[in-house]
């Protein structure tokens, strides 16, 4: 099968979150299964420092954006390992910037234009590179226009007419909504600007556009695929998703077993596996405490948090619980992330007042993320919603017990321990109500269990023996690609 994956992020070329992890790992797993897969993404400033060799192809192209014509260039690279080709769309006015989508918390004002250009470039690249494509796999709002162009403008063009389109929604709360005049930038007829297709409450909505014109839609966990078909997690698009429920499914993300392997992880002081975790993990904990300036107390439960410090991730609950716990318990907190200023301030205040208990690093650091995964005892993810979540899967592999709220992919991957009715499949702690009270109670249970080695060791072993690698998910994607190709042969739902 020939697959072209279009994305705005992929490790190691560009990353702001889990989308990049998925788009970096899935192509390798598909290639491993014998499929031909290529990746196309913009050439950002950070792409230049990705460590992969990038070469110009000498292919220039011109894209109409509203009334102007904009030139771009194609560059070529490969994913690590050299088996998967990566094509980079170079257009420095759009992509040679400090950040991918926003700066100082504000979206770039021309984001619609930047991704209209990229979406059109994806389709032009197929022709210019003479790429055979059976399935065009697009991701999130940034590539939501690709299926629309495919079904409208390339409808009867020979090399495109048999291409099937799959949209993966990684997070429904980012929809790429722009004012209606940006419809002019797309070059598509105003007749598509209606509430069945591209319009959403008077705005242009690129994610909705992708949902309407794709042959299949999937999201990154079965639970999230259910949750988004109703309010509030449908974020206003629940009606569209209900309408297309017959082509909507969920496939759990996997993890890159090379990148996240405590036996070989180059960022760690000590290496370990399920058999040697009792020896290796305490050394990683000690090193983490030292690195973060926390007291080296081997018996104090060390809680790790890595991620975007935003409402979605439940940081209001964390802050409330921490305020109580830092004064009354020996729990230590290791927090790495960036996000909303109010959480920066709240956590900074706590870290300054209680340096013996709270270590905070505001920023993005891949090595420290790995060290927290290895050094922490518990990993906290009290998300209000979580399409899949990757950190809980990394935690399981690193023998760090996840404590999560039962939502989306967290609910699909973590089975809660219950002291009253022990379940042999338990691999973490789960709470339900999105409240500080429920989180605090769950944390109390987890800390009790931590002090009972026979329970704790069992939880670690169950998690470390589970297989969350991409090879499992990649097989499910192959089956979905096949279904998508069959659907593409049937009359189109729209366009």
Residues found near ligand ADP in the complex (CB under 6 A): 17-18, 21, 306-308, 336-338, 364-366, 369, 388-391
Residue 308 or 344: the one with the smaller Cβ distance to ligand ADP is 308
Q: Which of 102, 99, 89, 95 is nearest to 174 (CA)?
A: 102
What's the CA gap between 442 and 325, in Å, rounded? 13
Task: Classify 41 as helix, strand or coil.
Answer: strand
How far apart are CB 101 and ligand ADP at their closest, in Å?
13
Residue 261 or 365: the one with the smaller Cβ distance to ligand ADP is 365
Residue 92 or 107: the one with the smaller Cβ distance to ligand ADP is 107
How far apart are CB 385 and ligand ADP at their closest, in Å?
10
How far apart are CB 45 and ligand ADP at their closest, in Å?
19
Residue 21 or 265: the one with the smaller Cβ distance to ligand ADP is 21
What's the CA gap between 260 and 21, in Å, rounded? 11
Nearest residue to the partner ligand ADP, using Cβ: 18
How far apart are CB 160 and ligand ADP at their closest, in Å?
31
Residue 264 or 366: the one with the smaller Cβ distance to ligand ADP is 366
Task: Classify 3 as helix, strand or coil.
Answer: strand
What's the CA gap between 103 and 97, in Å, rounded? 9
Residue 58 or 363: the one with the smaller Cβ distance to ligand ADP is 363
**All residues at 6 or more sequence positions from 479 whose CB lies less than 8 Å from its CB, including other chains:** none
What's the CA gap between 146 and 197, in Å, rounded? 14
How far apart are CB 17 and ligand ADP at their closest, in Å?
3
What's the CA gap between 63 and 383, in Å, rounded? 40
Instruction: Classify residue 48 by its DSSP letter.
Output: G
What's the CA gap between 334 and 350, in Å, rounded? 12
How far apart are CB 259 and ligand ADP at their closest, in Å?
9
How far apart are CB 474 and ligand ADP at their closest, in Å?
17
Cβ atoms of 334 and 254 within 8 Å: the answer is no
How far apart are CB 34 and ligand ADP at their closest, in Å?
27
Question: E strand or H helix at 277, and its extent?
Answer: helix 277-292
Burial (0-12, 13-18, 19+ Cβ within 10 Å), 275: exposed
Task: Classify 270 as helix, strand or coil.
Answer: coil
Residue 2 or 338: the one with the smaller Cβ distance to ligand ADP is 338
Sign of the CA dihedral with 289 first, then 295, 296, and 302 last: negative
What's the CA gap between 119 and 167, in Å, rounded? 13
How far apart are CB 364 and ligand ADP at their closest, in Å?
4
Question: E strand or H helix at 204, and its extent?
Answer: strand 203-205
Residue 25 or 65: the one with the smaller Cβ distance to ligand ADP is 25
Token pair 């109390």 is found at: 444
Residue 405 or 487: the one with the smaller Cβ distance to ligand ADP is 405
């Amino acid at each position: 099968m020939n697959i072209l994956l279009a994305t705005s992020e992929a490790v190691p070329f560009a990353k702001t979150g889990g989308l990049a992890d998925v788009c970096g790992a899935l192509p390798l797993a598909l290639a491993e299964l014998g499929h031909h897969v290529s990746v196309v993404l913009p050439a950002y400033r950070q792409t230049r420092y990705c460590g992969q060799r990038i070469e110009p192809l000498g292919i220039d192209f011109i894209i109409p954006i509203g009334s102007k014509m904009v030139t771009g260039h194609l560059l070529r690279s490969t994913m690590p390992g050299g088996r998967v080709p990566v094509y980079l769309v170079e257009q420095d006015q759009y992509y040679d910037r400090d950040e991918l989508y926003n700066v100082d918390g504000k979206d770039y004002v021309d984001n619609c234009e930047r991704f209209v250009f990229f979406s059109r470039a994806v389709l032009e690249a197929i022709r210019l590179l003479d790429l055979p494509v059976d399935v065009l796999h697009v991701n999130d709002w940034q590539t939501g226009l690709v299926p629309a162009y495919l079904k409208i403008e390339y409808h009867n063009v020979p090399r495109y007419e048999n291409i099937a389109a799959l949209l993966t929604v990684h997070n429904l709360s980012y929809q790429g909504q722009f004012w209606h005049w940006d419809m002019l930038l797309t070059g598509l007829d105003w007749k598509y600007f209606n509430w069945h297709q591209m319009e959403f409450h008077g705005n242009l909505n690129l994610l909705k556009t992708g949902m309407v014109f794709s042959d299949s839609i999937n999201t990154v966990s079965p639970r999230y695929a259910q949750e988004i078909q109703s309010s509030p997690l449908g974020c206003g698009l629940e009606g569209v998703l209900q309408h297309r429920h017959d082509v909507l499914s969920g496939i759990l993300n996997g993890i890159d077993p090379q990148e996240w392997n405590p036996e070989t992880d180059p960022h760690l002081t000590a290496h370990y596996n399920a058999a040697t975790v009792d020896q290796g993990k305490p050394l990683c904990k000690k090193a983490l405490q030292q690195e973060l300036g926390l007291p080296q107390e081997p018996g104090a439960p060390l809680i790790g948090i890595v991620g975007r410090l935003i409402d979605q991730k439940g940081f209001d609950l964390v802050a409330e619980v921490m305020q109580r716990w830092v004064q009354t318990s020996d729990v230590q907190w290791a927090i790495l992330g960036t996000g909303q200023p109010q959480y920066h301030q709240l956590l900074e205040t706590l870290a300054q007042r209680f340096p013996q208990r709270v270590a905070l690093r505001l920023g993005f650091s891949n090595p420290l993320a790995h060290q927290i995964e290895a050094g922490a005892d518990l990993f906290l993810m009290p998300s209000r919603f979580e399409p899949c979540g990757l950190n809980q899967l990394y935690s399981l592999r690193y023998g760090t017990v996840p404590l999560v709220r039962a939502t989306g992919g967290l609910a699909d991957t973590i089975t809660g321990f219950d002291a009253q009715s022990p379940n042999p499949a338990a691999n973490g702690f789960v709470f339900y109500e999105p409240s500080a009270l429920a989180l605090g109670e769950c944390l109390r249970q987890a800390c009790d269990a931590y002090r009972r080695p026979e329970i704790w060791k069992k939880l670690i072993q169950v998690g470390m023996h589970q297989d969350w690698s991409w090879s499992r998910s990649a097989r499910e994607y192959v089956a979905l690609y096949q279904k998508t190709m069959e659907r593409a042969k049937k009359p189109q739902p729209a366009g």
